[in-house]
Amino acid sequence: MAKSANQKLKLLHIVRILEENTDEDHCISTQELIRELAKYDIAAERKSIYSDMEQLERFGYDIVYVKAKSGGGYYLAGRRFELPELKLLVDAVQSSRFLTLKKSRELIRKIGQLAGKHGAKQLNRQVYVAGRIKTENESIYYTVDKIHRAIQENCQIGFQYMEWTPEKELRPRKDGAKYRISPWALTCKDENYYLVAYDGTAGKIKHYRVDKIGGVQLEEGLAREGGDSFLRFDIGAYANKTFGMFGGEEAVVTLEIPEWMVGIVLDRFGRETDIRRVECAEKKVSRCQNKTGKEAEKETEMETEMKTATAKESARFHARIEVAVSRPFFGWLTGLGADVKILSPAAVAERYRNYLGEILENYGTGKASGEKNGQDGQTEDSKREEG
């Protein structure tokens, strides 16, 4: 039998067939594999298949043969990505607001190809893209690519920065004026993608929503600025300090919180956050738990449980956090309710009181004392994402 031109591609086709059609629950028999190869005009026999599998195993492919009268055969056991890992990638794509609906579906389809047709079916069952809030900027891929190129080539970029209008349209800010900055990093925060860059004119670090950046151009004749600032810059700490990526004056704020709120603070600011039990709360707990003699004998089991619960609720803690003081930060505090209190700095506590008073004024009660119309000491960074 004359060999076809595709015969030299036999091993490659076998790998592709195994990747696309097999897994631990779906084997392919030798005869089925021969039929699949015939579709590509490749001749094969049982003995040659055995030899091909040995060569692939020697090369490093994890191929398993299952002996069974029904349903037996070969399957590819080792893949670059396990199915749970691919599910995590799909979840990340679904939840990314900076990806458009179209791009999200394209990416999920490509991820599914890594799982084979049977694994792809499982991934498709958990895909919920429609109805999610997604950007409408289809050019975000090219924007990200140009930003990476600028970082690699150490040059500045120019672009227009967009904002929503009441007519639900994106238009350039500052009457279409060109922004020129030095890009240094890209980061995800609150389901959005941000460019962290140095503004040479303002002399400080700023951040920009990538899906609101339009018309990016590399300024190849201008080297990046702000290198010294970024040597001392911790992008993780920067993201944790800001709320909704709104900037503001950085400060170390001490909060007084109940025990049940400790986990919320650690989740938001990390395990390194300085949290200490208030001394008076410890004494209350010890008085509750260290009763002896007749007093302890008189307490019923229910009374003991109630007192233990009361002691836990009364325990208070001081948490020192580094934040960019802004209205979104105050909004986060408000959501925690009356159990949280700003102890210091006094100026931040005063601004928070003014913030609450301004809200109450909208409902015919309370009185603000100087934080109306933005006159609260906040920088413009705390109100606009781009600075």
| Average pLDDT estimate for 235-251 | 69
pTM to 2 decimals? 0.54
**pLDDT at position 287:** 40
- Distance, in Å, from the CA atom of 82 to the CA atom of 62, rounded to the nearest integer, reads 13
Q: What is the pLDDT of residue 132?
A: 58
User: Which amino acid is it at 56?
Assistant: L
Cβ-proximal residues to 253 (8 Å cutoff; 6+ apart), any chain: 320, 321, 322, 323, 325, 342, 344, 345, 348
Q: pLDDT at residue 379 above 60? A: no
pLDDT-derived band at 230 (thresholds 50, 70, 90) equals: confident
Question: pLDDT per residue over 291-325, tens digit each?
Answer: 555 554 545 554 555 445 454 456 899 999 988 88
Residue 383: band (very low, low, confident or very high) from pLDDT cuts 50, 70, 90:
very low
Cα–Cα distance for residue pair 319/342, rounded to 1 Å: 10
Give residue 254's pLDDT band: very low, low, confident or very high (50, 70, 90): very high
- Identity of residue 86: L
pLDDT of residue 231: 84
Question: How far, in Å, are 179, 245, 246, 251 from residue 229 at the CA level?
Answer: 20, 19, 19, 19
Is the per-residue pLDDT at 278 higher than 70? yes
Question: Measuring CA to CA, which residue among 5, 2, 7, 6 is closest to residue 48?
Answer: 7
